[in-house]
Amino acid sequence: MWWGVALIAWVLGAVLLAINLYGLAQPLRKPGLGQTDQASLRFVPDQVWSYEKSLKEINALDPSLPEDQFLRDANRVVNRSLVHVDWNRVDPEAYRQRVPVWENYFLYLLGKFSGLPQFERYHYADYRRNIRRGIGICGDAATVLSSVLDRYQVDNRIVSFEGHVLVEAGTGSNGVLLDPDFGVVLDVPLDALATRLPDIRQRYLDAGYSVREIDYLMPIYLGQYRLFDDTYHFMSKRYLFENASYILKWLLPLGLMMASSAWLWVVWSRAGSIR
């Protein structure tokens, strides 16, 4: 009986390992993203950067530049690295919002069977996975920018309004609000946001956004907000679970195969000694 259980465990481990290996060659990004699906996008990009292009631009950011220029460059890179889709209306399978089984079978099973919306249309915590998939909304863009600024040791915090998410680099009167989702540097600290709405409105207009989009944002900036030190604090449980699941998706099949192989070897060795 036990040798049968061990054999099943080995086969299960081999199948999971094969799924993982297959996934290494699969694109997490929807084919034709931002090019063949513009009706599904909130903002239509002039150009969709590849994952490799985005990482190259992030690595090329120069912290020796004046701080305002560095922040503009970082904000621009993040804005061009993600395509803003109509999050709740696009096909979750096609856009990989439901994480594919070959990418992470733990997240796939939760997205398929748990009934939890946060896994049915999953927001990545890791900024590289966000960029690799290539889609996001304001919260995704904010966590990516915050992670990039953390990497360059720039003090920042995520500012979560009811309806939009920004990043503030620096604090107090020296802070600068950044909107990576829209690709706009607001050039005001958080403390002055509510009193500088005409200036902020003009910055969005100068960036080419419609009056309708801007009229949606302005009341949000008068509302309440919550502050988070970084991506970990913004989505702490998901951050920990996601990172653990990407490690366990390899450890589980290897553990099953090694443990069952050892058990089968013991069983066969004992059977041979009896004969």
> H/E element holding 11?
helix 2-23
Q: What is the pLDDT of residue 215?
A: 95
pTM: 0.91
Q: What is the pLDDT of residue 43?
A: 77
Mean pLDDT by 10 residues, the chain (275 residues): 80 97 97 82 81 98 95 97 93 97 98 95 97 97 98 96 96 87 95 94 95 95 95 90 98 95 74 56
3-state secondary structure 175-244: CEEEECCCCEECCCCHHHHHHCHHHHHHHHHHCCCCHHHHHHHHHHCCCCEEEECCHHHHCHHHHHHHHH
Q: What is the pLDDT of residue 271?
A: 59
Torsion of CA 224, 235, 228, 194, to 10 degrees: -30
HSE-CB at 233 with a 13 A cutoff on CA atoms is 12
Q: What is the pLDDT of residue 240?
A: 95
Dihedral angle sign, alpha carbons of residues 113, 114, 119, 121: positive
Q: What is the pLDDT of residue 25?
A: 96
